[in-house]
Structure 1
Amino acid sequence: MIVRIMGEGQVRLADSHLTELNKLDDELLAEMENGDGPGFRRTFDALLAKVRELGDPVPDDSLEPSDLILPSPDATLDEVREMLSDDGLIPG
C-alpha cells in the first residue's frame, strides 16, 4: 500500500502493519472525540512516526497513486477531523 503524508511524500507500507497502525488510529479517534488536544497531538505524531518507521520511502520522481492520504504533521485537530472516515484515518 502507498501512503502519502501531505507535505512530505509517500512511503510503501506492507498491509501487515495496518493492525499496529489501527491501534494508534483508534487512540487518536478517542482523543479527538474527547477534545483532548495534547493527547491528539501526541498520538498523531506517534502515528506519523510509525508510518515513517515501517514504510519504505517512494522516490520523489515516482508517480504512484496513493492508497491512503494522511494529514500533514502540522495539521490541527479540526483539520484532521475533516479528513476522518467512519474508520478513522487508517482503514480497517
Structure 2
Amino acid sequence: MIVRIMGEGQVKLADSHFAELNKLDDELLTEMRSGDGVAFRRTFHALLDKVRELGEPLPDDALEPSELILPAPDATLEEVRELLSDDGLFPG
C-alpha cells in the first residue's frame, strides 16, 4: 500500500505491517474520543514514526496514487478527528 504523510512524501508499506500499525491506530482513536491531547500527540507521532520506519520511501518524483493519506505531523487533534473513520486512520 502507498501511504502519503501530508507535507512529507510517500512510502510503500507491506501489508504485513498493518497489524502493528493498527495497534497504534486503535490507541489513537481511543485518545481522540477521550479528547486527551497529550496522549494523542504522543501516539500520533509514534504512529507516523512507525510508518516512516517500516515504509520504503518513494522518490520525490514518483507519481504513485496514495491509497492512504495521513495528516501532517503538526496536525491538531481536531484536524485529525475530521479525517478519522470509525476504524481510525488505517483501514481494518
Q: TM-score range by the shorter chain?
A: over 0.9
> RMSD of the alignment, in Å?
0.4
Deviations 1:11-59 (A, max 9, x none): 0000110010000000000011111000000000000000000000000
Residue 16 of structure 2 corresponds to 16
Residue 74 of structure 1 corresponds to 74
Q: Secondary structure at the match of 2:4?
A: strand
Residue 7 of structure 1 corresponds to 7
CA distance in 2, matches of 1:32, 1:62: 33
CA distance in 1, matches of 2:69, 2:19: 17
Specify every segment of 5 or more residues in structure 2 that has no aligned partner in the other structure, as ranges: none
Q: CA deviation at 1:86?
A: 1.3
**Letter of the aligned partner of 2:20 in structure 1?**
E
CA distance in 2, matches of 1:26, 1:52: 18
CA distance in 2, matches of 1:67, 1:45: 20
Q: Secondary structure at the match of 1:32?
A: helix
CA distance in 1, matches of 2:57, 2:26: 25
Q: CA deviation at 1:10?
A: 0.2
Name the count of aligned residue pairs: 92
Q: Which runs of 4+ in 1 moved over 6 A?
A: none
